Amino acid sequence: MLELLLVIGSLVGLCVIALITLVVTPQIMIELGLWVLVVGLLVGIPTGLWYHVVLFTQLAPRKMLPPRWWRAPVELHPLLTPQEFRRVRPWFVAGAAGFVLCCIGGLAAIVGLVVINFL
């Protein structure tokens, strides 16, 4: 059920972005999308990297890090104490926000390009 809601939400979001592109003009939508993508990268990369550093510094003294822990760091959150999680959470949220901005900006730029090719 959750997957169906994600697909429907994605399609609705794509249609909304396409409608915005028709109103704003595709060229402006491409430029705005690329700027949002750049901001997402500038926010997401450093904060995501620092999230991994902070998570490592919280769990390494207790030797609770499995091999290749950086591939699925969210699975390590239950190992954190509430105080440790309070230190990790802001960087986790900021990195996730950067990722979401990258997705929205990239999608907006792609939709603008698609609209230009079909108009």
The count of domains in the chain is 1
Residue 16 belongs to some domain of the structure: no
For the whole prediction, is pTM greater than 0.85? no
Closest residue by Cα to residue 14 from 79, 111, 88: 111
Q: Is residue 95 part of a domain?
A: yes
Q: pLDDT tens, 31-87? A: 999 999 999 999 999 999 999 999 999 998 888 788 899 899 999 999 999 999 999
Residue 23 lies in a domain: no
| Residue 4 included in any domain | no
- Within-domain flag for 84: yes
Is residue 76 in some structural domain? yes
Flag whether 26 is in a domain: no
- Tell me how many degrees the CA angle 11-30-48 measures, rounded to the nearest 5: 75
Domain that holds residue 74: 35-118
* 74 token code pair: 């969210």
Give the rounded percent of residues in the chain with a pLDDT score beyond 70: 97
Q: How many CA atoms lie within 13 A of 107 on its CB side?
A: 16
Q: Would 59 be classed as within a structural domain?
A: yes
